[in-house]
């Protein structure tokens, strides 16, 4: 039996379209980032130009034509600043240069110029919450209690070791008769406080002990970091992805966090539970004032520079706050990680229908930024796949990522279906999280393996047989060269969808309208804009063949015309979609529009 939209659903959808069309404001004068596809590059894993087994900036430059052909508008480069590499670049020791293993400032300038020549913007990853313990600021701060930067980091005398009511985590870190001032823990395990004999004090670190947190309550710290931003903005960088931006401020009273310690033998708390419990160190209200000041700084530069936030939030209302709500005066693009990484995320029509609708209605009209993949999480093809239809599911995910009214953020290799290659032995782990937490926590190496360019040695990533992480053995079939030559590949599907975003006005300027709110198997939505044809997207998220009828009123006098389909058996005829298992089809309302 075909699935049909009810009359009530149809009437609501058409009424919604009419109301939204009158309020549409997107134009081609929008800032470039409002419609961008941004491509995250983990620099040590993308391309090695000098044969040392580690990717570099010149390697990225050598593949700019690939990125242009794919259709990306911007690249975000994970930290390439000088660093001891304890956390692979997220422990920065110099904010104004390039780590020699990645190249030089001149190499970055050339990369930027070549990217600009191809219409590709460049975004840098800026770590504001903490520095490396090898940064000159921290070395000076840790040397005494009287130096000019003594208050640039979070220091505490701690408590006497015999203080009543201490948490267990405090007792494990007793030094010189003192213990940490509270029960705050590092996200990477253990107490978040580390003792420094020279000061006879503890410093706070949300992450590794080699990453001391800056004291943003000190105006000198904010001034220094704003100067860092100006340094890169003056060099023409198009914007910043702000790492760990939710953790910048801490409770000045340093009150204990809610206890998550397990004493009954139950499983240890998950990372999400740990983050949610950090009510005194994550998402403090002071952040929003800082974001407004930062936004004003970036907006003072020409060229629509952009602030992208690493934001893991509980709901769409919290995400809206990071835009600045109705004022829209904070981050330009806080990441909507709810859709790809939220609790309960699953490959189902209900999940994505709700997530898309919330982003459409709950952000005061701000442009959502969807993300399904990054360097900290197993790849989406593994998280959402069923082990049998993974490529088809990845094509459906790409449609959800790219075809609603959103900006899109993807990650190197997602376009070819690269998989998470988790280490099998502790001795193979490079990520310190995995080294410390093995076997329960295996680290993040699996999602950071070298880009798979060819079926040849080292997947074409490097001439060195000893790459910094091993290449996934599946590169013999999953690689750029093979997929470029296959019209039905995931790579070509990504390329077609990105091209449609540019060539179909409704996919650029239209709002997203859900045409059915109850179908448990098929996600169907329309992109609708004034004076142009509608575009319809239908994604079968089930293992059964489905037929979906779009009532004639939804297409007016037009008929559906297929633009691209993930399965050769998928078709659009008249007002009906025919969808094999896990198939996706994009169609236009040919020879007509719903509203003019």
pLDDT surpassing 50 at residue 13: no
Helix (H) or strand (E) holding 497: helix 490-503
pLDDT surpassing 50 at residue 9: no
pLDDT of res. 591: 66
Cα Rg of the chain, angstroms: 25
Nearest to 339 by CA among 309, 368, 379: 368
Positions annotated as catalytic residues are: 243, 310
Looking at every residue in the chain, the average pLDDT score rounds to 92
pLDDT surpassing 80 at residue 125: yes
pLDDT surpassing 70 at residue 453: yes
pLDDT surpassing 50 at residue 332: yes
Enumerate residues 6+ apart whose C-beta is below 8 A from 185: 169, 191, 192, 257, 274
Please tell me which residue, 377 or 267, carries the higher pLDDT value. 377
Residue 574 — pLDDT band, cuts 50, 70, 90? confident
pLDDT in tens, 160-195: 999 999 999 999 999 999 999 999 999 988 999 999
Cβ(551)–Cβ(575) below 8 Å: yes
> DSSP letter at 396?
H
Strands 159-160 and 178-179: antiparallel
Does residue 443 come out as left (phi exceeding 0), alpha (psi in the -120 to 50 range) or beta? left
Residue 487 — pLDDT band, cuts 50, 70, 90? very high
Angle at 453 between CA 451 and CA 457, to 5 degrees: 95
Cβ(97)–Cβ(51) below 8 Å: no
Residue 19 — pLDDT band, cuts 50, 70, 90? very low
For the chain, how long is the longest CA-to-CA vector?
Answer: 82
pLDDT of res. 275: 78
Enumerate residues 6+ apart whose C-beta is below 8 A from 170: 159, 179, 180, 182, 183, 191
pLDDT of res. 49: 98
Residue 240 — pLDDT band, cuts 50, 70, 90? very high
CA 546 from chain center: how many Å?
A: 32
Alpha-carbon distance of 282 to 250, in angstroms, equals 7
Helix, strand, coil percentages in the chain from 3-state DSSP, rounded to 5: 35, 15, 50
pLDDT of res. 264: 54
Cβ(284)–Cβ(254) below 8 Å: no
Domains and CATH numbers, the chain: 3-27+510-590 (2.60.40.1180), 32-131+219-493 (3.20.20.80)
pLDDT of res. 272: 63
pLDDT surpassing 60 at residue 263: no
pLDDT of res. 15: 39
Cβ(191)–Cβ(178) below 8 Å: no
Cis peptide bond upstream of 439, omega within 30: yes
DSSP 357-375: HHHHHSSTTPPPEEE---T
Nearest to 308 by CA among 326, 329, 332, 291: 332
pLDDT of res. 552: 73
pLDDT of res. 20: 36
Residue 10 — pLDDT band, cuts 50, 70, 90? very low
For the chain, percent of residues with pLDDT exceeding 70: 92
Beta bridge partners of 573: 576
Residue 3 — pLDDT band, cuts 50, 70, 90? very low
Nearest to 564 by CA among 525, 535, 544: 535
Please tell me which residue, 593 or 481, carries the higher pLDDT value. 481
pLDDT of res. 11: 35
pLDDT in tens, 114-124: 999 999 999 99
Distances (CA, A) of 298 to 228, 239, 240, 306, 332: 12, 8, 10, 7, 10
- The encoded tokens of residue 584 equal 């996706």
pLDDT surpassing 60 at residue 14: no
pLDDT in tens, 83-106: 999 999 999 999 999 999 999 999
pLDDT surpassing 70 at residue 319: yes
């Amino acid at each position: 039996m075909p699935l049909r939209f009810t009359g009530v659903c149809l009437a609501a959808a058409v009424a919604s379209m009419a109301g939204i069309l009158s309020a549409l404001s997107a134009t081609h004068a929008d800032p470039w980032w409002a419609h961008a596809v941004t491509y995250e590059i983990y620099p040590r894993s993308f391309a090695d130009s000098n044969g040392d087994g580690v990717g570099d900036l010149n390697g990225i430059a050598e593949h700019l034509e690939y990125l242009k052909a794919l259709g990306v508008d911007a690249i975000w480069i994970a930290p390439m600043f000088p660093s001891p590499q304890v956390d692979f670049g997220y422990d920065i020791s110099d904010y104004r240069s390039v780590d020699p293993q990645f190249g030089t400032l001149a190499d970055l300038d050339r990369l930027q110029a070549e990217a600009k020549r191809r219409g590709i913007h460049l975004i840098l990853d800026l770590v504001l919450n903490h520095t490396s313990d090898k940064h000159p600021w921290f070395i000076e701060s840790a040397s005494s209690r009287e130096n000019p930067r003594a208050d640039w980091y979070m220091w505490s005398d701690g408590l006497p070791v015999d203080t009543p009511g201490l948490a267990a985590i405090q007792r494990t870190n007793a030094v010189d008769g003192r213990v940490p001032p509270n029960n705050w823990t590092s996200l990477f395990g253990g107490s978040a406080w580390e003792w420094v004999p020279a000061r006879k004090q503890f410093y706070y670190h949300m992450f590794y002990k080699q990453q001391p947190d800056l004291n943003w309550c000190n105006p000198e710290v904010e001034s220094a970091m704003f100067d860092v931003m100006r340094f890169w903005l003056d060099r023409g960088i198009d914007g910043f992805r702000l790492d760990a931006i939710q953790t910048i401020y801490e409770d000045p009273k340093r009150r204990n966090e809610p206890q998550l310690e397990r004493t009954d033998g139950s499983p240890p708390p998950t990372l999400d539970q740990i983050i949610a419990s950090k009510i005194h160190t994550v998402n403090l209200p002071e952040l929003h004032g800082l974001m407004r000041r930062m936004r004003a700084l970036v907006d003072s530069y020409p060229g629509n520079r952009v602030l992208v936030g690493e934001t893991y939030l509980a709901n769409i209302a919290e995400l809206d706050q990071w835009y600045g709500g109705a004022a829209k005066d904070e981050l330009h693009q806080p990441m909507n990680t709810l859709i790809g990484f939220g609790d309960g995320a699953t490959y189902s029509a209900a999940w994505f229908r709700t997530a898309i609708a919330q982003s459409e209605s709950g952000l005061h009209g701000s442009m959502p930024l969807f993300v399904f993949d990054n360097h900290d999480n197993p790849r989406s093809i593994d998280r959402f796949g069923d082990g049998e239809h993974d490529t088809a599911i990845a094509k459906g995910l790409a449609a959800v990522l790219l075809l609603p009214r959103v900006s899109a953020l993807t990650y190197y290799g997602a376009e070819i279906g690269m998989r998470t290659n988790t280490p099998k032995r502790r001795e193979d782990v490079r990520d310190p999280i995995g080294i410390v937490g093995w076997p329960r926590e295996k680290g993040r190496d699996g999602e950071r393996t070298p880009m798979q360019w060819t079926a040849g040695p080292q997947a074409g990533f490097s001439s060195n047989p000893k790459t910094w992480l091993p290449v996934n053995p599946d590169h013999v079939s999953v690689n750029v060269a093979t997929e470029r030559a296959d019209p039905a590949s995931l790579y070509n599907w990504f390329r077609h969808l990105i091209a449609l975003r540019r060539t179909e006005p409704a996919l650029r300027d239209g709002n997203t309208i859900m045409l059915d709110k109850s179908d448990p198997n098929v996600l169907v939505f329309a992109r609708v804009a004034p004076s142009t044809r509608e575009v319809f997207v239908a994604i079968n998220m089930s293992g059964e063949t489905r037929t979906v009828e779009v009532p004639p009123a939804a297409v007016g006098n037009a008929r559906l015309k297929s633009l691209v389909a993930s399965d050769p058996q998928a078709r659009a005829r008249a007002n009906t979609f025919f969808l094999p298992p896990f198939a996706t089809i994009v169609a236009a309302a040919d020879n007509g529009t719903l509203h003019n």
